Structure 1
Amino acid sequence: MKDVILDRLHYGHQGIEKCLLRARENAFWLGMTQDNKEKVKECSICERYNRKSQQKQPLLQHEVPRGPFEKVAADIFHLDGQNFLLMADYYSKMPFVKSLKTMTSKETIDYLESVFAIHGIPKVVIIDNARQFTSFEFENFRKQWEFKHVTSSFHFPQPNGFIERTVQTVKNCLKKAKAKKENTQLALLSLRTTPIDNILASPAELLFNRKVQSQIPHIIRHGSKSEGITRHLEQRQAVQKGYFDRQAHDLPPLLENQQVSVQDTGTGLWSPATIVKHSGEPRSYII
């Protein structure tokens, strides 16, 4: 079991400190720190991809936002012949990754719209001068969704610390997962559910204000607010059932070999059929 947990802690190949942050949140055994260190040091994939490159320039940093999705950054990167759109939230550090097929403004806009429709419209979107972001289509998108569009290469000359680091982190995560033939989405889940440091929670927890279940077993604690919401949802569900059941009644169970008619939900037409047996699921039969 310990080996399984070690493997899952290292899913995403984030390094010793990040593995230990995940471990301390979810597990404990004697020698856990040393076991994690040895696991990372013995990883051939990490050894292959973690070599330092040339000297980097000092980072240029932004003002820290007060909450999630006030400010996001987007960038396009290339990996193993594929193009990806990365969007990341400055507050939670949550990365959103989309594989691009056409590299058009429309495809880029469609994905950003889908994220904004779920998480809300950010006040500021920081991007570079890639053609997907400088097109007439993108400007119309910006006006319709009413966010401020800041071009990083003008207002914030490269290297833009946050997005540069996030691109590199995500690229490393994907490269290592592919090299080890691991599920890339599980690798990204590992990245998103790993605490940022000893004080800050994971990107997922900072964004959603709750712990997100990953492959590492842990107890998800629901506070009094969550319990109140659950009770309210149960009450709403009971009211909905009451309204629905006013015009409904239980039907008698069907028997094996009973002749019935089955409606095609697509066409609305009925066809004769014979009951073989009950499927084991409520109100469901094999015909």
Structure 2
Amino acid sequence: MTTIERDAAALPLDSEEARRVRAARLERIGKWVLPLAIMVLAIWLWDRICVWNEIPRYILPRPGEVLATLHTDAGLLFGSLLVTLRITFLSLLLAVAGGVGLAVLFAQSKWVEMSLFPFAVILQVTPIVAVFPLINIYVDNQTAKLLLCAWIVAFFPILSNTTLGLNSVDRNLLDLFKLNGATKWQQLWHLRLPAAMPYFLGGLKIAGGLSLIGAVVAEFVAGSAGQSSGLASRIIEAGYRLNAPRLFAALILISFTGIVIFLVLSLVSHLILRRWHESALKQER
């Protein structure tokens, strides 16, 4: 810290600046305390509703029973979670590879984009539960069925966001590259891809959650069962057996997994963009 900065820090704050500092401090505290307080209140109300109305555990279990089930059935539930996560991350990886690759192809040829992009839109807007009967006919391997369903759900956000980013490059910079004789691939590598990075990362955060949703929905429509099945199959099984605590425990695991995926991808996005992109620089102020 320089002498000027030390002197500025030592000066008393005026009332308006002090108010802004207090508001910023309260906001930093509140964004963590308020959600936790609401969550604790909701869990307490859940427990009290079960007690006050004497609701049977097979209809609505108390939070303590759900936590106990998470502990006692941890081996079964977390084993199924690993199966679901394997489909989730494999489908996300394939969505990134296919979406970015096709977006780059679109950026190099408008004719290719005009020819193929409508098919990507059709694939996105068609419900996966309507497509799965065809997948079930043409694909024999159970894992491949689940992977294809989850990939279809996660593919479009990567493709559309990356294509938008590649086409949103500064036209003045693009003209400068052309004036200096840059080839299309040089323009892509040195200009278009860096410009598309924030868009791609935004699509990646969306696709991360959608890949988990796609994996769970695929397990539901596939009706897979057995020791190697995912969390959706545990939910179906628990519903048939009226084992509500296990059903709620599986739902909590799915929700928590989705939150973790979103937070991890948000952190990755921030770490990549924090040194140069305006959206990340504003967050550090």
TM-score (norm 2): 0.21
Higher strand fraction (1 or 2): 1
RCO greater where, 1 or 2, for CA within 8 Å and sep 6 or more? 2
Higher helix fraction (1 or 2): 2
TM-score (norm 1): 0.21
